[in-house]
Amino acid sequence: MSSRDPFQSFTWHSDIFSCQSNDISSFYARLEEQASRLGLQARKLGDAGPHPLELYQSPAQKADQPSILISAGFHGEEAAGPWGLLYFLNELEPELFGQINLSLLPLVNPTGFKRGHRFNKLGQNPNRGFVLENGRGRSNQDTSSEGEILLAHSQLLAAASKDGILTCHEDVLLTDTYIYSFEANQHPGQFSRELRDALGHYFPIAQDGLIDDCPVQDGIIFNHFDLSFEAFLVRLGASVGVCSETPGQQSFDQRILANAAIIKRFVELTLAKR
**Residues interacting with Zn ion, by CB under 5 A?**
75, 78, 169
Q: Of 77, 230, 245, 268, which one is the catalytic site residue?
A: 245
User: Among residues 100 and 234, whose Cβ is nearest to Zn ion?
Assistant: 234
CA 221/CA 169 separation, integer angstroms: 14
CA 140/CA 130 separation, integer angstroms: 8
Cβ burial of 7 (10 Å; 0-12, 13-18, 19+) is middle
Nearest approach, Cβ of residue 39 and Zn ion (Å): 30
Nearest approach, Cβ of residue 228 and Zn ion (Å): 9
User: Among residues 78 and 163, whose Cβ is nearest to Zn ion?
Assistant: 78
Nearest approach, Cβ of residue 172 and Zn ion (Å): 9
Cβ–Cβ under 8 Å, residues 87 and 257? yes
Q: Cβ of 225: how many Cβ atoms within 10 Å?
A: 13
Nearest approach, Cβ of residue 74 and Zn ion (Å): 6
Cα-Cα-Cα-Cα dihedral sign, residues 27, 109, 265, 164: negative
User: Among residues 75 and 255, whose Cβ is nearest to Zn ion?
Assistant: 75
Nearest approach, Cβ of residue 272 and Zn ion (Å): 28
User: Among residues 81 and 137, whose Cβ is nearest to Zn ion?
Assistant: 81
Nearest to 195 by CA among 238, 159, 240: 240
User: Among residues 67 and 259, whose Cβ is nearest to Zn ion?
Assistant: 259
Strand-pair category, 51-57 with 67-72: unpaired
Q: Active site includes 245?
A: yes
Strand-pair category, 209-211 with 214-216: antiparallel
User: Among residues 223 and 246, whose Cβ is nearest to Zn ion?
Assistant: 246
Strand-pair category, 241-247 with 131-133: unpaired
Compute φ and ψ for 104, nearest 5 degrees.
-135, 135
Nearest to 85 by CA among 170, 154, 201, 171: 170
Nearest approach, Cβ of residue 215 and Zn ion (Å): 18
Nearest to 27 by CA among 77, 83, 80: 83
CA 230/CA 71 separation, integer angstroms: 9
Question: Which amino acids are annotated catalytic?
Answer: 245
